A and B are shown apart, each in its own frame.
Chain A
Amino acid sequence: MTAVHLFVTCVGEMVVPDVPVAAVRVLRAAGCSVDVPVGQTCCGQPAWNAGFTEQAAEVARTSLDALDAPLADDPDAVVVVPAGSCTTMIRLYWPQLFELVGDDERAARAREVAARTFELTEFLEGRELPTVDGAATTVALHESCHLLRELHVETGPGAALARVAGCTRVDWSADDRCCGFGGTFSVKLPETSVAMADEKLDTLPDGVEVIVGADSSCLLHLRTRAEHRGLAVTTRHVAEVLDDAIRAEDGSEKGDGRG
């Protein structure tokens, strides 16, 4: 049984806890044991993307230390993250981040953690997971930028969705275009950010009820813009879609909170 250490992410912790909860259940259904390493906080991406390296390193240091201890104990253990963007931060940018602040020891450890860190759908692609019956829903997939173009996970979210019978995925011409969130971009250039979200929403094919994706921050951006405009479409993380279907099959109870 593979030991998975979940990196929850700050958005998962505070804004959409149903997503990491669903990720835990899906990983268990895929035959993994799941732990949540104590002491983790955020990957540091907000400050990193704003150019504040020292501050990003201060936060990333805490999460690196939390993650690499359990990995050191078990050579087969991995870190799984239910967000392509945070996975990218850990895998691609942590080594550079610690190098820039002159912390060579952590840069070396970051490289080891990076090699054993996977985005959720990327990890699931290599696992046995049965096809499950979900509610009949028409969805479109938002291919999030970092997952697609930095991690080159091209089929992970789609393959995960394909395991949910009843879930119909329709093609979306703008599926791989950025949603316009971009962290602080969304408040520094809000007009452009909103226009980008609008183009995504306006190109959505008729009949789509739910936008599914693997990054909660993109989905939040699209959902809050859609709400602001009074559009009926909502969003759901692919982990939640899988978890819904798995629990529907199990006949188990629904969790609390919101998706």
Chain B
Amino acid sequence: MSEPTTEVGDRAGFLARIRERQGPPPRSGPHPAPDPPEVVPEVRYRSLDDVAGPGLVDVFATAARAAEATVDVVAPDGIDEPLRAVVETHEVHTAVVSNDPGLDRVAGVLAGLGVAVSPYDRETAATADLAVTGATHGLASTGSVVVDTEVAGSRAVSLLPRVHLCVLPAERIVPTHADVLRHQSRPMPSCRVVITGPSRTGDIEQRLTLGAHGPVALHLLVTT
């Protein structure tokens, strides 16, 4: 924003206390620290063994379902039926749509199903039944989708409504989080979120309960 940034406190003193002490961890003792790896290893998921290209969609769908999302994989002209099912299952009457390009057709189908569709604003979203967003990436190994604020137009569009519908072209599915997190575009969007399943809590008796603060359901519509 246009406000000048400020720095409070004694940076030099703060860092001097650290600098005078910092150093590599002890390399002796019964459990000595290893040397740092020459290359920071990536997490290699067993579900991706021998999987490439189109096979990623299946891995993605399996992982997303394990994270309590629901998934449909359809051709671009096959979205009507899944959207109807979402509207009926979740009793959707109102929807907000993010700024992601390419959602016009989805919005049109929803409107045709009698859903009141509007662009995002906070008050509307806070009571809306459905959020519709795109995603910049899908992560096959964890069934995650990546939503950037600079594309979606807001941080909370995928958060405030009761149900989140994310439309993901299959070609955006990459193997793991490393394929996105290690290759961040610069400058970074002000907010980027990796979404893995709906909002949840286990804070009461470790009982998995969906919809703690965010959506109670996440539906992923993968278009091939």
Chain A contact residues, CB within 8 Å of chain B:
92-93, 95-96, 99, 150
Contacts and interface: CB of A to CB of B under 8 A. Distances in A.
B30 A93 contact: yes
A150 B28 CA distance: 16
Nearest to B31: A92
Interface of B: 28-31
A230 B29 CA distance: 43
**Of listed B28, B29, B30, residue having the most chain A CB within 10 A:** B30
B52 to A, nearest CB: 36
A240 B196 CA distance: 54
A92 B30 contact: yes
A93 B28 CA distance: 11
9 contacts: A92-B30, A92-B31, A93-B30, A95-B30, A96-B28, A96-B29, A96-B30, A99-B28, A150-B30
A92 B28 CA distance: 11
Given A92-B30, A96-B28, 7 more contacts: A92-B31, A93-B30, A95-B30, A96-B29, A96-B30, A99-B28, A150-B30
A232 B180 CA distance: 59
Contacts of B30: 92-93, 95-96, 150
Contacts of B29: 96
Nearest to A99: B28
Contacts of B28: 96, 99
Contacts of A96: 28-30
B149 to A, nearest CB: 45
A236 B29 CA distance: 33
A92 B29 CA distance: 8
A177 B28 CA distance: 28
A199 B29 CA distance: 33
Contacts of A95: 30
Nearest to A94: B30
A95 B28 CA distance: 10
A92 B30 CA distance: 5
A148 to B, nearest CB: 15
A117 to B, nearest CB: 14
A150 B29 CA distance: 13
B92 to A, nearest CB: 46
Contacts of A92: 30-31
A99 B29 CA distance: 9
A93 B29 CA distance: 8
B33 to A, nearest CB: 14
A237 B99 CA distance: 70
Nearest to B29: A96
A192 to B, nearest CB: 23
B163 to A, nearest CB: 40
A95 B31 CA distance: 12
